[in-house]
Amino acid sequence: MSVNGPIAEDVAEEAMRLLVTAERAGIPLRVLGGMAIVLHAGDDLHPAFKREIRDIDFVAPKGKGRRVAELLVAEGYEPNRTFNAMHGARRLLFYDEAHARQVDVFVGTFEMCHVLPVSERLSVEPVTVPLAELLMTKLQIVKLNAKDRNDVYALLLTHDVAGHDDETVNARRIAELCARDWGLYRTVEISLDRLREGLAEVNVRDEQKELIAERLGRLRAAIEAEPKSARWKMRARVGDRVRWYEDPEEVEKGGY
């Protein structure tokens, strides 16, 4: 039984309820994933990109995993004890059995195909990770699927690309992250190419496709313009001959 009230049936309401509960406990949780895109896009989310959001993804600061786990258990969530025992310093899984939902908490970093330091800038936004980091959780996927592709399109149709974070995708931050790591750069490069090619299949107006394409282009230009280190350039010479990404484990979702 939840300490602060029943788990909300509506997934967005539940995400906000947990954020408020965590804030009261002094834990700066932030939302990421599809829910974060829905929260930012609001009523401007194009029908072509709407999808059912079943699960909630959060980021917590490094070292806060134990407190987050205690909070979620107190709020009525069932922990994946085996997974949490093995990976709890970096990632935690919990289940809302009644609503067939999963809560996924990344602690300190977001680790999938690449490692993203998503907790470095948790103070930028009050509810979600910054838009740059949110976009990067999609661009770092080596095998971008239709769902993730549409999430990127939804984000870029409703938000400009510039050099700041004010309801804007911060291209400088993305360029900085790509300049730190050639492997991340390479995956983002591939993702941007696939996203541009995939626009032909998207059911939005031509001018909307052009706007998304223009923002993808500005993002690519910022990444290319960012100075790269000698170490980065040495790895670039090796190129695709050595694998540059990880294959993330598929986590059992309790049948959801």
User: Once rounded to an integer, what is the mean pLDDT over residues 178-184?
Assistant: 98
Sequence spans of domains, the chain: 11-241
Q: What is the pLDDT of residues 79-97, one digit of tens each?
A: 999 999 999 999 999 999 9
Unique residue bearing structure tokens 């492997």: 183
With b for 16 or more beta-carbon neighbours within 10 A and e for fewer, the 26-45 pattern comes to: ebebbbbbbbbbbbbbeeeb
Question: Which amino acid, residue 223?
Answer: I
> Pick from 150, 149, 142, 140: which is nearest to 49 by CA?
150
Query: What value does the mean pLDDT take over residues 171-199?
Result: 98
Question: What average pLDDT score do residues 33-37 get?
Answer: 95
Place of tokens 């895109």: 37
Mean pLDDT score, 196-207: 97
Amino acid at 212: I
DSSP reduced 3-state for 214: helix
Report how far residue 198's alpha carbon sits from residue 153's, in angstroms, rounded to the nearest whole number: 10
Burial 168-192 (b: 16+ CB within 10 A, else e): ebbbebbbebbbbbbbbbbbbebbb
User: Hey, what are 44's tokens?
Assistant: 């401007």
The tens digit of pLDDT for each residue in 115-156 reads 999 999 999 999 999 999 999 999 999 999 999 999 999 999
Q: Is residue 256 over pLDDT 60? A: no
pLDDT band at 248 (very low <50, low <70, confident <90, very high): confident
Return the SS3 of 251. Answer: coil
Measuring CA to CA, how many Å separate 62 from each of 26, 89, 231? 14, 8, 27
Residue 252, pLDDT above cutoff 60: no
Q: How far is CA 113 from CA 9, 136, 144, 173, in A?
A: 32, 11, 11, 19
Per-chain mean pLDDT for the chain:
94
Which residue is associated with the tokens 């107006």?
205
Asked whether 139 and 192 are in contact (CB, 8 A), the reply is yes
Q: Tell me the pLDDT tens digit for each residue of 44-57.
A: 999 999 999 999 99
Model pTM? 0.93
Question: What letter represents residue 32's amino acid?
Answer: L
**255 pLDDT exceeds 50?**
no
Residue with tokens 């994946």: 80
